[in-house]
Amino acid sequence: KSNILWVLQVICGLIENVADGSTRTKQVSYKSLQSTISYIESLFHLYLQDSAITENILDFYLCLFSAFRIQIGHPFVQKTIQNFLTLFSSNQVMEFTLNECSSGCKVIEKLLQLLQQVVQEPSSHFKAFLPSTINLCLCQIYPLVAERPSSEVKPPLFELLHKILLHNYRYFFKVNVVNSLGESGNEKIENEQHFTKIMEAYGQSFLQPDIVLFKQNLMSLETLNNKWKLYYKGYFKSVMLFQFLSVLLKTLIYKTHNLLREEIISTIYNMALVDFNSFYTVFLPHFLQNMENLDANQKSALLRNFKHDTDLHSFAESIQRFVSDLRYYCLCTNTVL
C-alpha cells in the first residue's frame, strides 16, 4: 500500500512539473504515461474500499485532466467519468465512504472536484453526464450529509451544484438572445425536478448553523442572478421567490447568521427588486400573517411603518427597522425568538 501511494504521489508531481510546458512537451509526456494510466485505472477497481489509495487515485486524475486537458481527448474523459459515476452510484459504497470519518470524506471531495472540472466544459460531449452527476449529488451524497450541522463534503458539493447551474443553464432554461435578460420571465423550464431539488438543497442550507456554507450559497444565488437573472425566471419567481425571502427574513429576525446581515439584506433587496409591488402588497402581509406571536394591531403597525422605498439604502433601513420592531413586539409578549 505504501509503495502504491508513493508512486501515485510521484506521478502527480511529474505531471504538475509539465503542466505549464509546451504543447509538444505535453504530447510526449502524456504518451509516455499511457501504460501507467491503464495500471492506475485497474488499481481504482481493486482498492475502491481503501480511502487513502482512492483519494490519491482521484488526485492523479485531477492532475491529469488539468495538465493534459487537450491531449487526453473527449473519449477518455467520457469513459473515465462514466466509470466513476457507475462506481460511486452504489449506496453501499457511498455510505461506507462518508462514514469513514475525514479520510472517507476526502475521497468524495476529490470526486466532486473532478466533476467540477467536467461540468464546466463547453463541449456537448459532457452534457450527457449532467443527469447522472446531478443524481449522484442529490440522491446519493446529499441525503447522507443534509442533516449534519457541518460537513467537509457540503462546500464542494454545493460548489459543484453551483457550477452545474452557472455553466449549464440551458439544461434548466431555454435561453435566447431576446429573453436572456430575463425581461419576460416566461422561459420554459426544463428538467424541473432537478432544478427544484437543487433549490431545495440551497434553501435547507440557509436553515442550518454553518455560516461559511450559508455565505457560499448566498453568493452563489447572487452570482446566478447577476449572470442569468435567476430571480426573474418565471418558475423561480412563482414557486420559490417568496420561500427564499421568508427564510432570509427569518434569519435576520432570529439573528442566526448576524455576521452576514448586510449580505442577507442585499440579497433580499435583489429578490424584492423583481416586483416591489408584489413584495409590499403580497409577500409582507402573508409573512406577517404566519407570525402567530403577533396580534392584529402589531401586524398592521409593522406593515404601515414599512416604507415602500425602492433604493437599496432606504430599503435596508426599512428592513432593519421592521426586524427591530418585530423583535420588540415579541419581547413585549414574552415570545422567545
Residue 330 lies inside a defined structural domain of this protein: no
Record the cell numbers describing residue 219, joined without a space: 453568493
Residue 42 lies inside a defined structural domain of this protein: yes
Map grid coordinates 447551474 to a residue: 165
pLDDT at 87: 87
The closest of 171, 270, 160, 290 to 222, measured between CA atoms, is 270
Number of domains in the chain: 1
pLDDT digits (tens, 9 = 90+) for 304-321: 999 999 999 999 999 999
Residue 20 lies inside a defined structural domain of this protein: yes
Higher per-residue pLDDT: 70 or 15:
15
Task: Determine contact, residues 270/231, Cβ cutoff 8 Å.
Answer: yes
pLDDT digits (tens, 9 = 90+) for 255-305: 999 999 999 999 999 999 999 999 999 999 999 999 988 999 999 999 999
Record the cell numbers describing residue 18, joined without a space: 509539465
In DSSP terms, which residues pair with 152 in a beta bridge? none
Q: Cα dist. 187→122, 150, 191 in Å?
A: 22, 36, 13
pLDDT at 239: 96
Record the cell numbers describing residue 245, joined without a space: 425571502
**pLDDT confidence bin for 185, thresholds 50/70/90:** low
**Is residue 91's pLDDT more than 90?**
no
pLDDT at 335: 63
pLDDT at 182: 45
pLDDT at 93: 73
Residue 3 lies inside a defined structural domain of this protein: yes
Residue 53 lies inside a defined structural domain of this protein: yes
Range of the domain at 22: 1-72
Map grid coordinates 453526464 to a residue: 129
pLDDT at 187: 80
